[in-house]
């Protein structure tokens, strides 16, 4: 028997009626504000071509590693849910079968942020009236499929329906940005902009580093045979990204270690890497130096600098070797910031021309290190609760640990960081509800008054992200 899918209008608010009442009022002020999505992984091809989404599985499941991560943890083979194998071995391609497996196991997402997002998508975006399960799986599949075949559910129409003001993608340094060019030339008014992601040409331990450096050279029209020409190529590509609307860069690393090498040291390491002779120590020092270089470039060209360390990538080597990267087996590690960011912040942290947004997967560092750093250095802002912390309780913990030291104005609002396009309004709705609840908690305890809470609520939902990313 199917149960009705009903989203309570007071969901995620405190059970204390005095807090809940204030939270609901604050949320009402911001729930319909435009969405600014400054950091994400939605494929720009969607908006360049504006073709109908093929089916519910292609739209909702395949882009979302949160989904198959959970299913895999319960022993469900990735092949059975259509995750491609590196060697081309056949996997399940019947999207209805994949959807059936997902529906039969949908209960696994109860109490998780994925469950909250998915139920929002089903109810608000697609108008589904029943909770998804194995019995009604195909009926709900058909309901969604019928809608996907209509003009109202094409990518650009959904972009407008979701009230998205800006959507930022993530793009490699060598990317031609041809899909962004197609979007700009189409006459469509939706604002989809690129973000400069240099990881593949910075991390010397990446198997394709040499190939990516060669591609960077081709894209920039530069023969890269030295560290100097490498830097020149990066600067040229940053300028091209800016011309295509980019406002930010985004760099990942295992640690946020920053250290400035001498010109000779950087050149020696770079030459070893060109000859495939770089060591792990070389790679660590090179990444640390490139954080310094990227900060320098951001001061010069105005691009906002984002760093997000602390993920042990591809922890499950069996999955990585069989299915490749980004298959849900990246795991957080303990991360230190005070010492690691010392060199960068002492050289550039007092320069207001730099906007440095720092993320973390280690929430134990919020109150101990990150809030005090962001609450002092003019150049540094603290990114929102991210990835594994982008959850109902995680966002509340973030606000409780950060606000006393850094306030809200040294944070940057919210970003959804998603590949799953239809989840964007769901994720922003959760964030707006949790921030409203947090501010209501402060009002109920007379830490702030209602007027201050209203201004802070709008800032968290809209103003801070616009300011932080120069939008």
Q: What pLDDT sits at residue 265?
A: 98
Q: Which has the closest alpha carbon to 260: 230, 293, 216?
A: 293
Sorted by where each begins, the domain ranges of the chain are 17-51+154-468, 53-152
Q: What pLDDT sits at residue 359?
A: 98
Tokens of 211: 């190939």
| Residue pLDDT, tens place only, 216-227 | 999 999 999 999
Determine phi and psi for 221, rounding to 5 degrees: 70, 30
CA distance 450 to 341: 37
Question: What does the buried/exposed string (b/e) look like for 63-101 if buried means 16 or more CB atoms within 10 Å of the residue's CB?
Answer: bbbbbbbbbbeeebebeebbbbeeeeeebeeebeebbbb
Question: What does the buried/exposed string (b/e) look like for 259-291 if buried means 16 or more CB atoms within 10 Å of the residue's CB?
Answer: bebeeebbeebbeebbeeebeeebbbbbbbbbb
Q: What pLDDT sits at residue 117?
A: 97
| Residue pLDDT, tens place only, 429-440 | 999 999 999 999
> For residue 404, what are the contacts with CB-CB under 8 A and spacing of at least 6?
367, 371
Helix (H) or strand (E) holding 380: strand 380-382
- Bridge partners of 165, per DSSP, are none
Coil, helix or strand for 155?
Answer: helix
Q: Which CATH architecture has domain 53-152?
A: Orthogonal Bundle (1.10)
Contacts 24+ apart (CB under 8 A), 226-233: 226/267, 226/270, 226/271, 227/263, 227/266, 227/267, 227/270, 228/267, 230/201, 230/270, 231/293
Q: What pLDDT sits at residue 1?
A: 64
Tokens of 250: 């985004």
Angle at 280 between CA 278 and CA 285, to 5 degrees: 85
- E-assigned strand segments in 189-332: 192-193, 196-197, 248-253, 304-309, 311-312, 331-332
130 DSSP assignment: B
Write out residues in the chain with pLDDT < 70, as ranges: 1
Q: Give whole-number Cα distances, 4 to 114, 122, 131, 132, 335, in Å.
A: 19, 12, 6, 9, 43
Determine phi and psi for 169, rounding to 5 degrees: -95, 180
pTM, 2 dp: 0.97
Q: Which CATH architecture has domain 17-51+154-468?
A: Alpha-Beta Barrel (3.20)
**DSSP secondary structure string for all residues of 256-282:** ----PPPHHHHHHHHHHHHTT---HHH
User: Cα 52 to the chain's mean position, in Å?
Assistant: 24
CA distance 325 to 311: 13
Q: What pLDDT sits at residue 207?
A: 87
User: Cα 181 to the chain's mean position, in Å?
Assistant: 22
Contact at 8 Å (CB) between 194 and 245?
yes
| Residue pLDDT, tens place only, 243-288 | 999 999 999 999 999 999 999 999 999 999 999 999 999 999 999 9
């Amino acid at each position: 028997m199917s149960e009705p899918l009903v989203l309570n209008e007071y969901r995620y608010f405190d059970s204390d009626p005095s807090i809940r009442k204030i939270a609901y009022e604050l949320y009402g002020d911001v729930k319909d504000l435009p969405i600014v999505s400054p950091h994400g992984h939605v494929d720009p091809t969607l908006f360049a071509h504006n073709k109908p989404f093929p089916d519910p599985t292609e739209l909702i499941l395949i882009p979302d590693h949160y989904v198959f991560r959970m299913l895999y943890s319960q022993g469900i083979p990735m092949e059975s849910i259509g995750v491609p194998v590196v060697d081309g071995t056949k996997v399940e391609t019947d999207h209805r079968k994949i959807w059936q497996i997902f529906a039969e196991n949908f209960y696994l997402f109860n109490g998780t942020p994925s469950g909250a997002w998915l139920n929002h998508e089903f109810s608000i975006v697609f108008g589904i009236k029943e909770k998804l399960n194995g019995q009604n799986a195909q009926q709900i599949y058909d309901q969604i499929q019928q809608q996907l075949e209509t003009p109202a559910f094409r990518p650009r129409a959904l972009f407008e329906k979701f009230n998205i003001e800006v959507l930022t993608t993530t793009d490699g340094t060598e990317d031609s940005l041809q899909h962004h060019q197609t979007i700009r030339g189409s006459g469509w008014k939706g604002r989809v902009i690129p973000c400069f992601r240099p990881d593949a040409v910075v991390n010397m331990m990446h198997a394709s580093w040499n190939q990516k450096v060669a591609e960077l050279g081709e894209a920039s029209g530069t023969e890269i045979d030295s560290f100097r020409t490498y830097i020149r190529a990066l600067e040229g590509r940053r300028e091209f990204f800016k011309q295509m609307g980019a406002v930010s860069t985004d760099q990942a690393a295992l640690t946020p270690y920053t250290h400035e090498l001498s010109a000779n040291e950087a050149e020696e390491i770079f030459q070893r890497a060109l000859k495939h002779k770089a060591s792990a120590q070389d790679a660590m020092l090179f990444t640390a130096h490139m954080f310094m270089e990227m900060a320098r470039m951001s001061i010069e060209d105005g691009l906002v600098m984002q760093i997000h360390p602390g993920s042990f990538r591809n922890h499950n080597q069996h999955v990585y070797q069989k299915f490749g990267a980004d298959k849900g087996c990246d795991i957080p590690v303990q991360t230190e910031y005070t010492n690691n960011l010392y060199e960068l912040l002492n050289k550039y942290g007092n320069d207001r021309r730099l906007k440095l947004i720092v993320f973390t997967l280690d929430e134990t560092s919020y109150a101990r290190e990150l809030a005090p750093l962001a609450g002092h250095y003019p150049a540094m802002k603290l990114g929102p609760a991210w990835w594994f912390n982008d959850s109902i309780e995680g966002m509340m913990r973030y606000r409780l640990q950060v606000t006393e030291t850094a306030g809200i104005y040294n944070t940057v609002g919210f970003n959804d960081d998603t590949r799953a396009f239809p989840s964007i309004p769901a994720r922003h709705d959760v964030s707006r509800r949790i921030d409203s609840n947090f501010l209501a908690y402060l009002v109920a305890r007379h830490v702030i008054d209602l007027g201050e809470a209203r201004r802070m609520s709008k800032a968290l939902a809209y103003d801070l992200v616009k300011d932080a990313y120069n939008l």
